[in-house]
Amino acid sequence: GQNIDQPTEMTATEGAIVQINCTYQTSGFNGLFWYQQHAGEAPTFLSYNVLDGLEEKGRFSSFLSRSKGYSYLLLKELQMKDSASYLCAVSGNNRLAFGKGNQVVVIP
Amino acid sequence: GAVVSQHPSRVICKSGTSVKIECRSLDFQATTMFWYRQFPKQSLMLMATSNEGSKATYEQGVEKDKFLINHASLTLSTLTVTSAHPEDSSFYICSATGVPPTSTDTQYFGPGTRLTVL
């Protein structure tokens, strides 16, 4: 089975940097995804890590350590529009298992 | 690229009626489509996985006779909630994985359907 753990909520100031952590336990691993979800909307794809290390994509970076069952998403130069829930999802056994998401609230 | 649409975006129905939700991949062929349900402040919970032309695989605890899934083509899957009850009120989201060159690993999500059963 799969077990995914994420902290629930954080508040940060516009322009700041925020790190969102995700730990997981899974019997099969084919990669880890990060999605952004605004309230009442479907998730949108942010990043995909299958090998250890850091993947950088503009203001967003994602890191994976498979041996530790750990990933983080780094959001730089926070903007008001980044206020959303950030979901990590582990791919394995032909399915995606989602964490509950971390709600990020960006304040001026 | 990799756009998934859902219709309707919102539906309100009376208890006991059936509701059909469509999920379409607009610019790619979807080998596999997934149906999720999400309650407020909760995670996405996978309901079923469907492959074109074959029967859907339902997750444990999801009634296949209540949530009918049809995946008749590489671009369309439908979810029918039969004899809906207020506890079925939720946000239903579909996703799809593609045929190369579209990524076969990344799931692309539709915009979701908000179902309210009175």
DSSP assignments along B66-101, one per residue: TEEEEEEETTEEEEEE-S--GGG-EEEEEEEEE-TT
Check whether A62 has a pLDDT greater than 80: yes
- Cα gap B115→B111, rounded to integer Å: 13
Check whether A5 has a pLDDT greater than 70: no
pLDDT digits (tens, 9 = 90+) for B81-114: 999 999 999 999 999 987 655 556 788 899 999 9
| CA distance, residue A98 to nearest chain B CA (Å) | 6
CB contact under 8 A, A42 and B93: yes
CB contact under 8 A, A41 and B112: yes
The closest of B81, B76, B112, B85 to B14, measured between CA atoms, is B85
| Mutation site, A98, A102, A103, interface B, largest B CB count within 10 A | A98
Residue B53 gets the label, from left (phi > 0), alpha (psi -120 to 50) or beta, of: left
The pLDDT value recorded for residue B28 is 83
Q: Is A92 on the interface with B (CB under 8 A)?
A: no
Check whether A11 has a pLDDT greater than 80: yes
> Residues 64..93 of B with a Cβ closer than 8 Å to A: which?
91, 93
| Mutation site, B6, B37, B43, B113, interface A, largest A CB count within 10 A | B43
- Cα gap B16→B57, rounded to integer Å: 25
**A30, A41, A95 member nearest B49 (Cβ):** A95
- Cα gap A62→A74, rounded to integer Å: 6
Give the residue with greater pLDDT, B17 vs B54.
Answer: B17
pLDDT digits (tens, 9 = 90+) for B46-95: 999 998 878 899 999 999 999 999 988 889 999 999 999 999 999 999 99
Amino acid identity for residue B109 in this structure: F
